[in-house]
Amino acid sequence: MKLNEGHLWHLTIPLIISAFLWQFAMLLHKPCELLFRLDKMITGILISLIVNIIANLIFIPLYGYQAAAYTTLVGVMVYIAYIVPPSGVFKNLLIKIDN
Measured distance CA(84)–CA(32) in Å, rounded: 9
pLDDT of residue 94: 47
The residues, ordered by sequence, that sit 6+ positions from 4 with a Cβ below 8 Å of its Cβ are none
Q: For 36-55, what is each residue's pLDDT tens digit?
A: 777 888 888 899 999 999 99
Identify which has the larger pLDDT, 31 or 70.
Answer: 70
Predicted pLDDT at 97: 52
More confident residue, 3 or 10: 10
CB 72 within 8 A of CB 14: yes
Contact 36, 86 (CB under 8 A): no
- What pLDDT sits at residue 88? 57
Q: What pLDDT, on the 0 to 100 scale, is given for residue 53? A: 95
- 58, amino acid identity: I
CA dihedral sign of residues 91, 92, 94, 98: positive
